Amino acid sequence: MMQQLDLFGAEPQRPVPVKKVAPQAQPEKDQALSDDGIPLEETPVAKGKKRGRKSLKELAGDPHVIQELEKLTLDKQYYSISEVAGMFRVNTSLIRYWENEFDILQPKKNRKGDRLFRQEDIQNLKLIYHLLRERKYTIEGAKQKLREDKRSASRNFEMIKSLQKVRAFLTELKDQL
């Protein structure tokens, strides 16, 4: 067995003995097993816990973010990045990333370097959110769409919002009948 030399003077590493684990108790015959032979009720996925980042499908599972933003009254002149991230239910790092990627986002910065978002910036974020999360554009595709004709993209977004309001009204009316 070869031993690795440590050039910084630490003691050589010794191999760690492997412990033998006793086999698990046999599950009941009608109990489902995971790939590892563990009963499914003991796996973390079965308990509802999932590790790692959420997929776009999970993030897009709440399509009412824009509708809820429309209901909010934007009464302040400036909003912090944490407030804006809370409105869109995303991380602050994603808002900073979108700021770097899209030229239309230009939040003010104070002397300390904190980003202060105006109502115009929030409207631009709504448009970016719509293109990326609801219309499933890539970053490059959304940039190109905004570069080519921002006016038509925002007009289409406004039409979609108004149609969704009409749809919500009609479904509410249908439920009352």
- 35-77 pLDDT per residue, tens: 555 555 544 444 555 666 666 555 554 556 666 666 666 778 8
Q: Which residues pair with 117 in a beta bridge?
A: 79
CA distances to 38, 48, 57 from 153, rounded to whole Å, are 51, 39, 23
Helix 119-129, helix 139-176: angle, nearest 10: 90
DSSP string, 31-54: S-B-TTS-BGGGSTTTTT---SPP
CATH number where 121 lies: 1.10.1660.10
Identify whether 78 is part of a domain.
yes
73 contacts 87 by C-beta, under 8 angstroms: no
Identify whether 34 is part of a domain.
no
CA distances to 7, 68, 75, 145 from 118, rounded to whole Å, are 56, 18, 11, 23
Residue 67: which domain range?
Answer: 60-151
Q: What's the pLDDT score for residue 108?
A: 93
Identify whether 169 is part of a domain.
no
Identify whether 82 is part of a domain.
yes
Using pLDDT thresholds of 50, 70 and 90, give the confidence band for residue 165: confident
Q: What's the pLDDT score for residue 126?
A: 87
Running DSSP on this structure, what letter comes out for residue 72? S
Work out how many domains the chain is built from and give that number.
1
- Extract the tokens encoding 9: 């003077």
Please write the tens of the pLDDT for every residue from 73-132: 677 889 999 999 988 888 999 999 999 999 889 999 999 999 999 988 998 898 899 888
Q: What's the pLDDT score for residue 46?
A: 45
